[in-house]
């Protein structure tokens, strides 16, 4: 499903109206009716106490008038409060205002004094927030802000029309203050600001309302930005043919592990195995080989002599690694690999010369700080999987700056490194140098435990080895990894599950998506 900014949504609206001739009034009718249907589906018990619809001066308010009409038609008590003078309304919103006036639906005007509105909020069963949508253009102040505050203090179920009022559809944060919704009924496509943090906290459950925007409009005009949710995953996860074998699913090489960090290598191998790789071999320092041979059953090892004083591989192993990887499908480099100068030298050479797709993580990203040009010499696709701190070091910018503009910075990093960048964290983002990007919708804070990143690295490498093109491999890996954690959170608890369990639950995540796929739910 495409993910849009406000201006992109407005362009899609305009194209639908001007090129396809779908009148704006029809779009508004579909928006309002679809939202009313969601209200009936999810909040019917609350409606008996009355729905309070609070409308702003634009078309978001217009949607509110349509919702009021449909709920009134069904016999529910409805009251409409306008936060702007009636004469301010124009176009489709005015048409719908006039209709509800003729229907004598109780209509009230709020200027600066919101005392009546506050009482009505308290007396109502459900609040419909139709104050601002994608037309929000500045900080919310005055009686608009007071109304939003009253809504948030009411502890009533709140349905946000299109987007919680006050939340920026682009920035994903409140402009002053924003409605905290129980459910957001968004028109046609999800907005970026609804699926990144802190915006996601204000949205509640996100539901898409089909306003009959022709699919061709979206296919032709929507940007290559996607929400990684279950339907996206079901659309991209490939089933296995009965006549397949280990070779079909590729041999993954893992370059990871050093003294004290053997677990990172083991978890990467586990992630690759549970991610469906046909075979996995860990290229490791000879002195640690016995540890891996004891712990890894399904994965093989390829021990190498040359080591540093922290028992990590050094550039002297370069030739042997290159020849070993010649017939491999994909390689993971970095987890627990060691931060020794000679190991960094090895990373620089491998990143530039390995001619198979590679996932570069952890210490290998650290090795590339200030040395990004090695990535631009790469002879095969590269996927970087930094957490914010690693990306901060790689790009030499502050972690705060990254966290405030995650999608934009990931986009910049992808261009800068000519690699796919997976910027991990709450709502992981994936950006490709070719302009494609995605925001992940799965996962939870239980993932904040050591080693989960190593599992993700192995998983993405396994998907590369199975033939997924790099952007899809990265995005599918991110989604399945988060879904595995969501399954664990439901099954075990919000946190306390460990990285190894995230790997072990990947088959359950894959099964969940396959079931959806077989049911055609994508
Ligand atoms: N997406 C679709 O296909 C459809 C969306 N619809 C709805 O239309 C709104 C967008 O409507 P628009 O008139 O552009 O803007 P808003 O209603 O969001 O309100 C903007 C309105 O308010 C003024 N304003 C903006 N910021 C502030 C502020 N901080 N304080 C005071 N006033 C502010 C601004 O000047 C405008 O007048 C979309 O979200 C959907 O809900 C269509 O109904 C159906 C098709
Ligand atoms: K709204």
168-183: burial string, b at 16+ Cβ within 10 Å, e else: bbbbbbbbebbbbbbb
* Ion ligand 2: residue ranges with CB closer than 5 A: 129, 160-161, 165
Protein residue with its CA nearest to atom 40 in ligand 1: 60
- Check if the beta carbon of residue 233 is closer than 8 Å to that of residue 479: yes
Q: Where are the domains of the chain?
A: 6-223, 234-518
Tokens of residue 215, six digits: 């699919």
Protein residue with its CA nearest to atom 33 in ligand 1: 136
What is the fold of 234-518? Answer: 3.40.1190
User: Ligand 1 mean position to 409 CA, how many Å?
Assistant: 28
User: Ligand 1 mean position to 53 CA, how many Å?
Assistant: 15
Ligand 1 pocket, Cβ-based, cut-off 6 angstroms: 9, 13, 27-28, 31, 56-63, 132-140, 144, 161-162, 187-188, 211
| pLDDT given at position 58 | 98
User: Ligand 2 mean position to 450 CA, how many Å?
Assistant: 39
| pLDDT given at position 247 | 86
How far apart, in Å, do the first and last CA atoms of the chain sit?
A: 9
C-alpha 498/C-alpha 500 separation (Å) is: 6
Relative to the CA of 213, which ligand 1 atom is closest? 3
Binding positions: 59-63, 129, 133-139, 162, 165, 264, 336, 387, 424-428, 453-454
| pLDDT given at position 244 | 86
Relative to the CA of 32, which ligand 1 atom is closest? 43
C-alpha 241/C-alpha 108 separation (Å) is: 63
Protein residue with its CA nearest to atom 9 in ligand 1: 60
Tokens of residue 308, six digits: 């540093």
User: Ligand 2 mean position to 64 CA, how many Å?
Assistant: 9
| pLDDT given at position 519 | 86
CA 402 vs. chain centroid, Å, equals: 16
Phi/psi class of residue 428: alpha, beta or left (left: φ > 0; alpha: ψ in -120 to 50)?
beta
Protein residue with its CA nearest to atom 20 in ligand 1: 135
* Nearest CA among 522, 520, 521, 490 for reference residue 505: 490
C-alpha 515/C-alpha 423 separation (Å) is: 29
Report DSSP state, residue 303.
E
C-alpha 227/C-alpha 236 separation (Å) is: 13
User: Ligand 1 mean position to 329 CA, how many Å?
Assistant: 50
What is the fold of 6-223? Answer: Rossmann fold (3.40.50)
| pLDDT given at position 491 | 97
- Check if the beta carbon of residue 512 is closer than 8 Å to that of residue 483: yes
- Check if the beta carbon of residue 256 is closer than 8 Å to that of residue 461: no
User: Ligand 2 mean position to 179 CA, how many Å?
Assistant: 8
Over its C-alpha atoms, the chain yields an Rg (Å, rounded) of 26
| pLDDT given at position 520 | 81
Sheet containing strand 107-109, strands side by side: 107-109, 78-82, 51-55, 126-130, 158-161, 183-187, 205-209
| pLDDT given at position 446 | 97
| pLDDT given at position 112 | 87
Q: Which residues contact 73 (CB under 8 A, 6 or more apart)?
A: none
Strand 429-431 versus strand 420-423 pairing type:
antiparallel
C-alpha 228/C-alpha 230 separation (Å) is: 7
Relative to the CA of 166, which ligand 1 atom is closest? 29
Q: Which residues contact 113 (CB under 8 A, 6 or more apart)?
A: 143
* Test site for ligand 1: of 19, 61, 134, most ligand atoms within 8 A of the Cβ: 134
Strand partners, 226: 2, 438
Relative to the CA of 12, which ligand 1 atom is closest? 3
User: Ligand 1 mean position to 128 CA, how many Å?
Assistant: 15
User: Ligand 2 mean position to 185 CA, how many Å?
Assistant: 9
Name the closest ligand to CA 210.
1
Strand partners, 429: 423, 439
| Range list of β-strands (E), 238-336 | 251-255, 279-285, 300-304, 330-333
* Nearest CA among 389, 383, 390, 388 for reference residue 368: 390
* Nearest CA among 234, 328, 276 for reference residue 503: 276
Helices (H), 112-198: 115-123, 142-153, 192-195
Q: Which whole-number Å values give the CA distances from 423 to 196, 385, 508, in the listed order?
A: 12, 6, 25
* Nearest CA among 122, 120, 127 for reference residue 161: 127
| Range list of β-strands (E), 380-476 | 382-384, 420-423, 429-431, 437-440
Protein residue with its CA nearest to atom 25 in ligand 1: 136
138 CB burial (10 A radius; 0-12, 13-18, 19+): exposed
Per-residue pLDDT of the chain (522 residues), as tens digits, is 999 999 999 999 999 999 999 999 999 999 999 999 999 999 999 999 999 999 999 999 999 999 999 999 999 999 999 999 999 999 999 999 999 999 999 999 998 899 999 999 999 999 999 999 999 999 999 999 999 999 999 999 999 999 999 999 999 999 999 999 999 999 999 999 999 999 999 999 999 999 999 999 999 999 999 999 999 999 999 999 888 888 889 999 999 999 999 999 999 999 999 999 999 999 999 999 999 999 999 999 999 987 799 899 999 999 999 999 999 999 999 999 999 999 999 999 999 999 999 999 999 999 999 999 999 999 999 999 999 999 999 999 999 999 999 999 999 999 999 999 999 999 999 999 999 999 999 999 999 999 999 999 999 999 999 999 999 999 999 999 999 999 999 999 999 999 999 999 999 999 999 999 888 877
Binding positions for (6S)-NADPHX: 59-63, 133-139, 162, 264, 336, 387, 454
C-alpha 234/C-alpha 147 separation (Å) is: 41
C-alpha 129/C-alpha 63 separation (Å) is: 10
| CA 20-23-28 angle, 5° bins | 125
Protein residue with its CA nearest to atom 26 in ligand 1: 136
| pLDDT given at position 521 | 75
């Amino acid at each position: 499903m495409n993910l849009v900014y406000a201006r992109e949504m407005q362009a899609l609206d305009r194209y639908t109206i001007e090129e396809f001739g779908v009148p704006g009034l029809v779009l508004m009718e579909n928006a309002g009716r679809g939202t009313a249907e969601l209200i009936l589906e999810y909040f019917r018990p609350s409606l008996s106490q009355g729905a309070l619809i609070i409308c702003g001066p634009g078309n978001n308010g217009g949607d509110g008038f349509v919702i009021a009409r449909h709920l009134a038609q069904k016999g529910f008590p409805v009251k409409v409060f306008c936060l702007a003078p009636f004469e301010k309304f124009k176009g489709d919103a005015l048409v719908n205002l006039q209709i509800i006036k003729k229907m004598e639906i109780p209509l009230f005007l709020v200027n600066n004094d919101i005392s009546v509105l506050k009482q009505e909020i308290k007396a109502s069963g459900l609040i419909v927030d139709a104050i601002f949508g994608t037309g929000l253009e500045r900080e919310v102040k005055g009686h608009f802000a007071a109304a939003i505050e009253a809504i948030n203090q009411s502890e009533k179920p709140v349905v946000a029309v299109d987007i919680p009022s006050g939340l920026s559809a682009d920035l994903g944060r409140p402009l002053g203050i924003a409605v905290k919704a129980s459910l957001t009924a968004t028109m046609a496509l999800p907005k970026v600001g609804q699926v990144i943090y802190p915006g996601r906290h204000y949205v509640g459950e996100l539901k898409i309302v089909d306003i009959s925007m022709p699919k061709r409009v979206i296919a032709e005009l929507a940007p290559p930005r996607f929400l990684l949710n279950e339907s996206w995953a079901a659309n991209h996860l490939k089933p296995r043919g009965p006549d397949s074998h280990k070779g079909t699913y590729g041999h993954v090489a893992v370059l990871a592990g050093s003294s004290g960090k053997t677990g990172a290598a083991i978890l990467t191998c586990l992630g690759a195995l549970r991610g469906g790789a046909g075979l996995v071999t860990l290229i490791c320092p000879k002195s640690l080989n016995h540890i891996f041979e004891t712990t890894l059953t399904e994965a093989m090892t390829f021990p190498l002599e040359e080591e540093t004083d922290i028992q990590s591989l050094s550039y002297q192993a370069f030739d042997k690694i290159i020849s070993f990887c010649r017939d491999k499908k994909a390689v993971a480099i970095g987890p627990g690999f060691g931060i020794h100068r000679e190991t960094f030298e090895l990373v620089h050479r491998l990143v530039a010369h390995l001619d198979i797709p590679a996932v570069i993580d952890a210490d290998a990203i650290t090795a590339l700080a200030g040395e990004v040009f090695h990535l631009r010499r790469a002879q095969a696709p590269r996927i970087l999987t930094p957490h914010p701190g690693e990306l901060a070091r790689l790009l030499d910018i502050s972690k705060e700056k990254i966290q405030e503009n995650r999608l934009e910075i990931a986009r910049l990093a992808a261009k800068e490194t000519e690699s796919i960048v997976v910027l991990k964290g709450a709502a992981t983002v994936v950006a490709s140098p070719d302009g494609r990007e995605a925001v992940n919708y799965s996962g939870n804070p239980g993932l904040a435990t050591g080693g989960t990143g190593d599992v993700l690295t192995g998983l993405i490498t396994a998907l590369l080895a199975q033939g997924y093109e790099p952007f899809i491999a990265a995005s599918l890996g991110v989604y399945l990894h988060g879904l595995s954690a969501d399954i664990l959170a439901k099954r075990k608890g919000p946190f306390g599950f460990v990285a190894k369990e995230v790997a072990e639950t990947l088959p359950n995540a894959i099964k969940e998506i396959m079931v959806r796929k077989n049911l055609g739910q994508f």
